[in-house]
Amino acid sequence: MLVTTLIILALLVFWLAGWWFGHGEDLSAWDHPAEGSGQERFSRSGGPSAGHGQAEDDIRAMGDQVRGLSQKQRLQFAREFMEQIPEGREFDCEFRPVDAGGLTAEWVLAPGADPARRVLYIHGGAFIAGSPNSHRTITSRWSEVSGAAVLAIDYRLMPEHRRAAGIEDCRTAYRWILENGPDAAAPPQWLYVSGDSAGGNLSLSLAAWVRDIGLRSPDGVIGLSPLTDSTYSGLSIRRNLKTDIMLGPLFGALMKIPRPILMWLFVLENRVRPVNPVVSPIFGDLSGLPPTLIQVSESEMLLDDARRYVNKARAAGSPVRLQSWAGLLHVWHIMNPEVPEALEAFEQIAAFVRSVEASGAAPA
């Protein structure tokens, strides 16, 4: 009887601890659509383009290959799949390897790119995959539409490294780009931080850190389908599980795990509570942030991550905007130029950059 009681108590403590790990601010207050100029919606009559439809077919085929794989096999598959994305493509850019303060990186330079105009790009890949190479379709387009030199960094990935290692690498890269361009050591005239998915999470976390320690702020931050809430509390995480054909096959099984156990797994893997703003930017102070643009698909699991972040940041007085597209893949930007919606999204990014720079002189 005593043993049974102790087991029950141990399970109760385990369950309560898991609940506490993921217990933070009630984010449901930010579930409403962004108000006024805070949100723009894009859609095509008749649905997504034929190019997007072909990309969906390719991703569905990938999802079929993932099913039944072990965790180790999924990791290897994800890494190999992402590294194959730029294969066979021609780029009108220079890719220049560089040591960014001890961090492997590459400068991506479109013809005529101004070395004084810079973008720090942080790739996605669920913190476990991706590299500067895997995201060249994004970084090359970024350089083309902005006329800027893009620094794509190869931050340390999980599970070989802790989440904190990747965060530290992003901070190192930011300090470095403040003093170094592609041709010489010099401060930037204009500076942007951007990232997709996991990289979007790291970008938003980085912006808050820069503010808090008093470094020169980026002139703008652009997040593509960013993860903002590591407690996975948004309704779209589960509601869009079937419509998100990119993330659904990869993380559907994970979402079936009871929440307290999921929070325990996060803490054991990352050594930090999932409500910590360092890993969940939405739980932090969102005032005093630079102009920020968030782009997201309305069909993806991270829709509420984007919407909640934008609403909370705007309520705190930060100039943050949301642009959403109907029926698209998670981070559809990477599938350019084959997917017209990807080109449209980059046109909006270019317009955002122009609006930032038209609003005033660059910081000294």
Among residues 227, 283, 258, the alpha carbon closest in space to that of 25 is found at: 283
Beta strand residue intervals within 176-258, DSSP E = 190-196, 220-224
Q: Which of 300, 324, 333, 341 is catalytic?
A: 300
Of 131, 197, 280, 297, which one is the catalytic site residue?
Answer: 197
Enumerate the H helices of 214-339 as residue ranges: 235-239, 248-251, 259-270, 303-315
Q: Where are the beta strands (DSSP E) in 137-189?
A: 148-153
Starting at the edge strand found earlier in the chain, the sheet holding 148-153 runs 39-42, 320-325, 292-297, 220-224, 190-196, 114-122, 148-153, 104-109, 94-99
Q: Cis omega before residue 187 (within 30°)?
A: no
From the candidates 52, 123, 135, 330, give the one annotated as an active-site residue.
330
Question: Which structure tokens are listed for 228?
Answer: 């903002």
Name the pairing type of β-strands 190-196 and 114-122. parallel
Specify whether 45 is catalytic: no
274 token code pair: 């999932």
Q: Which of 279, 237, 229, 280 is nearest to 256 (CA)?
A: 237
Is the separation of the CB atoms in 326 and 45 below 8 Å? no
Q: What is the CA radius of gyration of the chain?
A: 20
Q: Is the dihedral of CA 26, 32, 35, 40 positive or negative?
A: positive
Q: CA-to-CA distance for 82 and 339, rounded, in angstroms? A: 17
Contact (CB, 8 A) for 110 and 92:
yes
Block residue for tokens 């008093």: 214
Q: Is 300 annotated in the active site?
A: yes
CA 203 – CA 226 distance, rounded (Å): 9
CB 184 within 8 A of CB 209: no
Residues 192 and 221: their CA atoms lie apart, in Å, by 6
Q: Is 179 a catalytic residue?
A: no
Which of the residues are catalytic? 197, 300, 330
